[in-house]
Structure 1
Amino acid sequence: MTASHTRPAHTARQDWATGLAAFAAVMLFLAGLLTLFRGIMAIAEDDVFVTTPNYVFQFDLTGWGWIHLALGALAMVVSAGLLKTATWARVTGVAIASLVIIANFLSLPYYPVWSVVMITISGFIIWALCVMKRGGNLYDLSGERQPR
């Protein structure tokens, strides 16, 4: 007698979860990369940014550069964990995206359009990570479907 292994039925919900995992990972990587570049730019040439007089949250732009640099690097590392659908990466991804939103809100007067773009991207990342079911990625590195 032979045992037959049946694969679970392929559902649209599984595709949706897989797509959200990939979307969140790629978007967090891109947001991290852009935040990293913004940090490098603020550290190297802080005169690129326009300073606003009498701004309530006035900070040294070099300090902001280091904050953005650290957030960007951390976001890029966490995005690798999201590709493996690790729970720690989802929780950390939401936290990092939230910090990116706060950092960009506080630096709105220095680079307003870019800050709004990064806030929007981070909002989509948080949304994707919060609605994604656990184990959203159903593929291994070889590309074959894995049983649940």
Structure 2
Amino acid sequence: MAQAATPPGASRRRASGSGADSAWASGGTLFAGVLLLVDGVLAVLNGIVGIAKDDVYARFGQYVYRFNLTSWGWIHLVIGVLLIITGFGILRGALWARGLGVGFAALSVIANFMWLPYQPIWAVIAIALGVFIIWSLLTDRSRLTT
């Protein structure tokens, strides 16, 4: 008996998942890659400002996680470069980048939580973006075969 031809990409879908779920997850992964790039560029810019000028950021109140602003600049610079590299990897479809993206996004969430007294509004936005990136990368099953 002849088998029916399967449409392109059908083998990538899970048997229990629908095509709409897969499309949302795939689109979310693409968006997560772009967000990693944008978050990385902004972290690099924050880092450069923190390294170059210690008086740009003002701290609001006392906070347990206090570092020198130059130290925060280097932390943001390194995390930003890692996010940019990982974002390019995700956009190219590299599976290694998805795992690193989750790890580096989690690291970015932690760093932005500790950065709250210096830029509270942006830190909360960056934390929300990091959580979305983690969710998006962990729920995309479009590249897995059944």
Give the TM-score normalised by structure 1: 0.80
Q: Which amino acid aligns with 1:91?
A: G
CA distance in 2, matches of 1:105, 1:20: 24
CA distance in 2, matches of 1:35, 1:106: 14
Deviation (angstroms), 1:13: 3.9
How many residue pairs match? The answer is 134
CA distance change for structure 1 residues 51 and 14 in 2, over 3 Å: closer, same or farther? closer
Gaps of 5+ in 2: 11-18
CA distance in 1, matches of 2:8, 2:53: 55
Helix, strand or coil for the counterpart of 2:141? coil
Gaps of 5+ in 1: 137-148
| Counterpart position of 1:7 | 7
CA distance change for structure 1 residues 13 and 51 in 2, over 3 Å: closer, same or farther? closer
Helix, strand or coil for the counterpart of 2:30? helix
Alignment identity in percent? 44
For 1:87, which of 71, 75, 95 is the aligned residue?
95
CA distance in 2, matches of 1:60, 1:9: 51
| Conservation of the 8 A alpha-carbon contact between 1:85 and 1:134 | no
| Conservation of the 8 A alpha-carbon contact between 1:29 and 1:76 | yes
Give the TM-score normalised by structure 2: 0.81
| Counterpart position of 2:44 | 36
Deviation (angstroms), 1:44: 1.2
For 1:64, which of 51, 72, 95 is the aligned residue?
72
| Counterpart position of 2:63 | 55
Q: RMSD between aligned alpha carbons? A: 2.3
CA distance in 1, matches of 2:140, 2:22: 10
Q: Which amino acid aligns with 1:8?
A: P
User: Which structure has more RCO (C-alpha within 8 Å, separation ≥ 6)?
Assistant: 2
Q: Which amino acid aligns with 1:112?
A: P
